[in-house]
Structure 1
């Protein structure tokens, strides 16, 4: 199967919200996500979509920054492939596209976080050559 991967235009960013809601099982409302994405697109953020004949089947946010220990890096965020499309190699194709795209933007490293409970993603990222560097902590204010 041939899938298309492309940057989602800022004007279309709300198209990713239904998939992001499936990822975030903590029930963040559409309205809150809409507000957050409208802020995110003004920052060092892009969003890539995976498409099957113009149907959005996967998303991955890309955050850009420069870190003292890794140089210019990209952080894939809220990576999600629709359940009906899993196990078809789309994740591997998606990340190959992301590596090429971000290399062309001058990135030297890829860093990411994944939920502790998402063991399927851990296996995927290990197979992609990622190493565990640390822990991600969160404190709500």
Structure 2
């Protein structure tokens, strides 16, 4: 998609898994999750869909150019919320408003489902992404700790 003229970006949240263009979504998701093949990502999306994982898909001229994977939930600390697990734009299409459109699509969807907040984690090495989130009014509000088990 190099040297692609950007036309209007359309963001869609597919209602069913059958409406998700899995190979195209997985190809874009690979920019964020390069340790997985397209087939592995597609299989993971299918499995996670059963637990409430959903997608916002950004299209430009009919091509998938960005994707955000999220879940809606409720926690004592956050109330009803949207947690964005994955937000990525095709590398050749970055800095063209696609991430803005995806984040706005997610926020609109969250609001329409009664959510009071939007959350995500971003790897400490992703400083460019951090600037994007800061610019969208998302300050760092906590540290995320994890431990591998098993």
Same fold (TM over 0.5): yes
1:6 to 9, 12, 16: 12
Post-superposition Cα deviations, 1:12-47, rounded to whole Å, max 9, x if no partner, equal: 35231111122123x223343233212111112210
Q: Residues 67 and 98 (structure 1 numbering): CA distance in 2 closer, same or farther, change over 3 Å?
A: same
Report if aligned partners of 2:11, 2:57 keep a CA contact under 8 Å in 1: yes
Please say if residues 65 and 98 of structure 2, whose CA atoms lie closer than 8 Å, have aligned partners that are also in contact: no
SS at match of 1:22: coil
Farther off after superposition, 83-92 or 44-53:
83-92
Runs of 4+, deviation exceeding 6 Å: none
Aligned to 1:63: 71
* Corresponding position of 1:17: 26
Q: Tell whether the 8 Å contact from 1:70 to 1:109 is kept in structure 2 after alignment.
A: yes
State the superposition RMSD in angstroms: 1.6
- Say which SS state the counterpart of residue 129 (structure 1) adopts: coil
Q: Which residue is equivalent to 1:75?
A: 83
Which residues of structure 1 form unaligned runs of 5+?
A: none
TM-score, with structure 2 as normaliser: 0.85
- Mapped to 2, the partners of 1:69 and 1:139 lie a distance apart of 21
Deviation sequence 1:37-72 (CA, Å, 0-9, x none)? 121111122101000021000000011110112210
Matched residue SS, 1:91: helix
Query: Unaligned 5+ residue runs, structure 2?
Result: 1-6
Q: Does 1:40 align with 2:40?
A: no
Where does residue 50 of structure 1 map in the other structure? 58
In structure 2, the residue matched to 1:94 is 102
> Displacement, 1:103?
0.3
- For residues 84 and 57 of structure 1, the distance between their equivalents in structure 2, rounded to whole angstroms, comes to 9
| Count of residue pairs the alignment pairs up | 140
Q: 2:131 aligns with which of 119, 123, 128?
A: 123
